[in-house]
């Protein structure tokens, strides 16, 4: 997975004012995982926590988790956000194909014959992606956010994890969803960054170590395997990728659980059957996130109360 590149301590987001003012409760962080349309489950998780009066003090997000987490940290109303997402053709706006893997293959093949020097200047498609997220985030920077927030990306040249907590929120989000083969890498501070799901699928460790959370709810929206019985060589390739990503997520969460123990709670909404590029499916995964969070609310409340006694 490569050596991780973290934001230097002097640049880390400030701790929540709640603890600075002496409120006797743990700082709760969320780690929102990547998974394309399955990541809409994060909307339901956040909505259920808000309705239950459980405040969130920090958010770390990968891929779609960065999109939903950034909007939440920026103070966007969750109900309005869901309505907007239902109306938008995100496949078109974000440059994702509608036709699942075959569309991706077509886009990738076309890119193989493109000679654009994307290291010298943003191609038009990258400019469009950044402009969309600048509009989506209302031009905010990380310093403007109500809640400390981090976007997880990967450096395409070194394989390092790069966690973004400064500068333009829109450009960071664009880098966070830049899928290799569909989007060009996005340049930030001289590094060319892509979707952080390559290196950290559910960034619980970022919420703990970089954002200073005492307790973290990690939301895993991983997929099922591509197919139960692959037949063609292409399906075998996709199946192999699915296995790799599933095992990466499982291993990272197991290591995080070993390291942080009962400070980490893993939440898995029932979205495994949803295809990553089915971005028109908002209500289903959002409702699944809400249902799973509501089911676990008694456990979450007890878990947070136990932590408060230890402060």
Closest listed residue to residue 195, CA positions, set 64, 72, 73: 64
Alpha-carbon distance of 204 to 185, in angstroms, equals 24
Check: CB of residue 272 under 8 Å from CB of residue 37: no
Q: Which of 16, 63, 222, 278 is catalytic?
A: 63
Please determine, for residue 10, whether its predicted confidence score (pLDDT) is greater than 80. no
Q: What band does 16 get if pLDDT is binned at 50, 70 and 90?
A: very low
Its pTM stands at 0.85
| Residue carrying structure tokens 């956040």 | 46
Catalytic residue selected from 57, 155, 195, 205 = 195
Looking at residue 92, what is its pLDDT?
76
Q: Which of 185, 181, 186, 180 is nearest to 167 (CA)?
A: 186
Average pLDDT, the chain: 84
CA atoms of 30 and 65, how far apart (whole Å):
10
Is 5 one of the catalytic residues? no
Tens digit of each residue's pLDDT (9 = 90 or more) over 170-223: 999 999 999 887 889 999 999 999 999 999 999 999 999 999 999 999 999 987
> Does 99 participate in catalysis according to the annotation?
no
Task: Please answer whether residues 220 and 77 qualify as being in contact, where contact means their C-beta atoms are separated by less than 8 angstroms.
Answer: no
What is the C-alpha separation between 108 and 184, in angstroms, rounded?
11
Average confidence (pLDDT) over 26-40: 94
Q: What is the pLDDT of residues 120-171, one digit of tens each?
A: 888 888 898 999 999 989 999 999 999 999 999 999 999 999 999 999 999 9
Look at the alpha carbons of 65, 70, 75, 76 in this order and tell me if their dihedral is positive or negative.
negative
């Amino acid at each position: 997975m490569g050596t991780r590149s973290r934001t230097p301590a002097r640049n880390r987001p400030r701790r929540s004012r709640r603890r600075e003012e002496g409120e006797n409760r743990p700082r709760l962080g969320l780690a929102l995982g990547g998974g394309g349309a399955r990541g809409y489950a994060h909307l339901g998780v956040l909505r259920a926590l808000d309705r239950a009066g459980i405040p969130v003090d920090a958010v770390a997000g990968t891929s779609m988790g960065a999109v939903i987490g950034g909007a939440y940290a920026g103070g966007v109303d969750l109900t309005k956000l869901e309505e907007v997402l239902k109306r938008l053709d995100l496949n078109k706006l974000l440059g994702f194909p509608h036709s699942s893997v075959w569309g991706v293959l077509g886009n990738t093949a076309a890119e193989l014959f493109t000679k654009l020097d994307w290291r010298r200047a943003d191609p038009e498609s990258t400019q469009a992606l950044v402009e969309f997220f600048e509009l989506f985030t209302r031009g905010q920077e990380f310093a403007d956010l109500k809640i400390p927030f981090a976007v997880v990306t990967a450096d395409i040249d070194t394989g390092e994890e790069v966690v973004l907590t400064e500068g333009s929120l829109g450009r960071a989000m664009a880098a966070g969803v830049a899928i290799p083969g569909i989007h060009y890498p996005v340049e930030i501070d001289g590094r060319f960054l892509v979707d952080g799901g390559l290196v950290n699928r559910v960034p619980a460790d970022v919420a703990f170590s970089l954002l200073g959370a005492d307790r973290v709810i990690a939301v895993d929206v991983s997929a099922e395997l591509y197919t139960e019985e692959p037949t063609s060589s292409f399906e075998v390739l996709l199946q192999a990728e699915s296995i790799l990503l599933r095992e990466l997520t499982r291993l990272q969460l197991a290591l995080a659980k070993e390291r942080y123990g009962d400070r980490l709670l893993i939440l898995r909404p029932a979205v495994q059957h949803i295809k990553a590029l089915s971005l028109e499916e908002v209500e289903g995964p959002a409702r699944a996130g809400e249902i799973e969070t509501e089911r676990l609310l008694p456990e979450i409340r007890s878990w947070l109360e136990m932590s408060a006694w230890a402060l």
